[in-house]
């Protein structure tokens, strides 16, 4: 799952980016002004936008309004130091989905992020399951037939993406767009390396070798029942 973090306070942005990537296994693009954020939104796919209101070049209210006027339905979580009810109303009126006031409680913020991710996903249940495989986004644990799998962040992200789009073929380009930030674009061969490692760990836990199917020339999909 990929998040765009738009926050001009470098200390807050760095702390949030670290927690979201290291603890929650999200892919994060972090920028400090609204105009650059808009450019990224126009060129990349995001599952959630965490958006500060007070931003240089283009403020968060204006950016959110532009998003909705241009048909973007990506969930938006407003993050701001403004605590007045009129500011909260303004943010919600222009299309924000939730609103958190600084200083924020980190566990609550992460819970709100997970809730918005579920709302924006085609999968409505918090627990993602198929063929004995289970992924819990709340604690980032993956099990097969009850056996806990120790996955790297990229392996976890691959499995999460495949589970959320069961039956669909996911191209390597789509995988790269969802699982790598703009600062670390990989070669397509890198995707194969991570998939090979993920398949090996699944087989070691007893999963069938073809649980993740490769569709020649198209991409990959998770085998359905």
Domain ranges (residues) in the chain: 2-120, 128-222
CA 49 to mean position of chain CA atoms: 9
- pLDDT: which is higher, 43 or 4: 4
Least Cα distance to 117 among 108, 104, 126 occurs for: 126
Instruction: Provide the pLDDT confidence category of residue 17 given band limits of 50, 70 and 90.
Output: very high
pLDDT of residue 150: 92
User: The domain 128-222: what is its CATH number?
Assistant: 1.10.10.10
pLDDT of residue 124: 45
Residue-averaged pLDDT of the chain = 86
CATH class of the structural domain 2-120: alpha beta
Q: Kind of pairing, strands 2-6 and 27-31?
A: parallel
Q: 86 pLDDT exceeds 80?
A: no
Tokens linked to 58: 């283009």
**CA gap 4, 50 in Å, rounded:** 6
Instruction: Provide the pLDDT confidence category of residue 126 given band limits of 50, 70 and 90.
Output: low
For 114, left (φ over 0), alpha (ψ -120 to 50), or beta? alpha
Instruction: Provide the pLDDT confidence category of residue 186 given band limits of 50, 70 and 90.
Output: confident
Q: How many H helices and E strands in the chain?
A: 8, 11
Between the CA of residue 99 and those of 58, 78, 102, 124, what are the distances in Å? 19, 5, 10, 21
Give the SS3 label for residue 202: helix
Instruction: Provide the pLDDT confidence category of residue 167 given band limits of 50, 70 and 90.
Output: confident
- pLDDT: which is higher, 180 or 204: 204
Residues 203/178, Cβ–Cβ less than 8 Å = no
User: Residues 206-222: pLDDT tens digits?
Assistant: 999 889 998 888 889 98
pLDDT of residue 123: 43
pLDDT of residue 10: 92
């Amino acid at each position: 799952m990929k998040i765009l973090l738009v926050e001009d306070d470098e200390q807050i942005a760095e702390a949030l980016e670290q927690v979201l990537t290291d603890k929650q296994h999200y892919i994060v693009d972090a920028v400090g002004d609204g105009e650059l954020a808009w450019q990224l939104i126009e060129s990349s796919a995001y599952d959630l936008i965490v958006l500060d209101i007070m931003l240089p070049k283009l403020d968060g209210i204006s950016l959110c309004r532009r998003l909705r006027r241009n048909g973007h339905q990506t969930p938006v979580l407003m993050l701001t130091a403004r605590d007045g009810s009129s500011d909260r109303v303004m943010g919600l009126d222009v299309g924000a989905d939730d609103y958190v006031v600084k200083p924020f409680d980190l566990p609550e913020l992460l819970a709100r992020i997970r809730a918005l991710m579920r709302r924006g996903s085609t999968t409505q249940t918090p627990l993602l399951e198929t063929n004995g495989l289970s992924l819990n986004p709340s604690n980032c644990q993956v099990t097969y037939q009850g056996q806990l799998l120790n996955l790297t962040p990229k392996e976890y992200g691959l499995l999460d993406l495949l589970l959320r789009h069961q039956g669909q073929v996911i191209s390597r380009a789509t995988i790269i767009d969802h699982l790598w930030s703009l600062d670390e674009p990989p070669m397509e061969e890198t995707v194969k390396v991570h998939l090979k490692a993920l398949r090996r760990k699944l087989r070691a836990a007893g999963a069938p070798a073809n649980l993740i199917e490769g569709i020649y020339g198209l991409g990959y999909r998770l085998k359905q029942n």
